[in-house]
Amino acid sequence: MFIVQSYPLAILFCFVTMLCWGSWGNTQKLASKTWRYEFFYWDYVIGVLLFSLLSALTLGSIGAEGRSFLADLAQADPVNLGSAFLGGIIFNASNILLSAAVSICGLSVAFPVGVGLALVLGVLVNYFGAAKGEPLFIFAGVLLITIAIILNGLAYKKALVGTKQVSAKGIGIAIAAGLIMAFFYRFVAASMDLSNFAAPAAGKLTPYTAVFIFAVGVFASNFIFNTIAMKRPVEGEPVSISGYFKGKPLTHLVGILGGMIWCLGQSFSMIASEKAGAAISYGLGQGATLVSALWGILIWKEFKGAPKESNYLNGAMFILFIIGLGFLIYAGA
């Protein structure tokens, strides 16, 4: 299988993760013009599962190093399979809430609040679960990113002056998504041998197998979580699954593309975790908050008409986020 051999390459993979995790939400924004997010999300999880399988059968099955996907799957310990599967369930519970928050308050708020919170808590969870990197710089980076999240919340609050208050629901859902999302990565990482991908311990999973089992967990749990979301939507009337099959092929493809983009990021993050460490790999990937905020502000114009104070606060958010991510990179160097 393909294995990252150096820290600089691992960091590059983490930046690809950041771009993917911060950009998939654009597919939801595109689909939302004619498509409820609950329907979009079915296609999204299909895309996650398809890409995980494609990655496992290609990059996860070539080369002389490590165990190939099918061989690794055959020798996997049920405990490790269960850990990766549980990670998928936890992620799906959080991500469907994040999608709901995006549908209410947009990319430039849902991601910095929800994913930013997941970044802060998740880095701590993953560091204490598998310590790697200089803790002083890791915690300094987390502190700066925390301040950046607060500034984004203040910017949104000022932008909402005189508008409807439904946004409070969106922020609350984003916070709930972030609290849950902080824990999914640790369960997936725990299923792997983070110290040696080339010759992983017996029963442990390679990153490619772990991502596939994770994706199966996402897909299976969607029959519960998305069914609930359809019957008790955060906005609008309940919808029936029959409406999903009325979607146009192109609309379905947009959702599948969104899932594949996200899973590309997840795969690269897991592949990088041996050299970078789980905490740094996860933390840099969740710098997606910066990418998504840029999409929301610059492309989707979600702060159009906001007072100047919001622009200043968002500018400070970007600066602190970049510095915080720099600390995380330096922590593992």
pLDDT digits (tens, 9 = 90+) for 102-131: 888 877 778 778 888 898 899 989 898 887
Residue 122 lies in a domain: yes
Round to whole Å and give the CA distance between 144 and 202. Answer: 40
Residue 121 lies in a domain: yes
Residue 109 lies in a domain: yes
Q: Which of 11-20, 171-180, 283-292 has the lowest mean pLDDT?
A: 283-292
Does residue 98 have a pLDDT over 70? yes
Report how far apart, in Å, the C-alpha atoms of 182 and of each of 126, 186, 230 are. Answer: 9, 8, 25
Mean pLDDT over residues 30-52, rounded?
94
Closest CA to 112 of 123, 102, 122, 104: 102
Residues whose CB falls within 8 Å of the CB of residue 114, separated by 6 or more in sequence, listed in order: 94, 97, 98, 101, 173, 174, 175, 177, 178, 181
Number of domains in the chain: 1
Q: What tokens does 93 get?
A: 């519970």
Residue 2 lies in a domain: no
CA 3 from centroid of its chain's CA atoms: 22
Residue 250 lies in a domain: yes
Residue 240 lies in a domain: yes
Most confident stretch, 19-23, 28-32, 85-89, 104-108: 85-89
Does residue 165 have a pLDDT over 60? no
Q: Where in the sequence is the domain holding 75, given as residue range(s)?
A: 8-332
Q: What tokens does 66 get?
A: 């490590």
Give the length of the chain. 333
Round to whole Å and give the CA distance between 247 and 124. Answer: 41
Mean pLDDT over residues 131-147, rounded?
88
Q: Which of 54-63, 80-89, 288-297 has the lowest mean pLDDT?
A: 288-297
Q: Return the H-helix or E-strand segment holding 214.
A: helix 207-231
Round to whole Å and give the CA distance between 23 and 295. Answer: 8
Round to whole Å and give the CA distance between 252 and 43. Answer: 6
Residue 32: the pLDDT is: 87
Residue type, 210: A
CB atoms near residue 291 (< 10 Å): 20
Residue 3 lies in a domain: no
Mean pLDDT over residues 72-87, rounded?
98
In this predicted model, what pLDDT tens digit does every residue of 49-68 receive, in sequence order? Answer: 999 999 999 999 998 888 99
Most confident stretch, 75-89, 129-143, 318-332: 75-89
pTM, rounded to two decimals: 0.89
Q: With cut-offs at 50, 70 and 90, classify the pLDDT of residue 166.
A: very low
Residue 248: the pLDDT is: 93
Residue 82: the pLDDT is: 98
Round to whole Å and give the CA distance between 191 and 13. Answer: 20
Residue 1 lies in a domain: no
DSSP structure class, residue 38: H
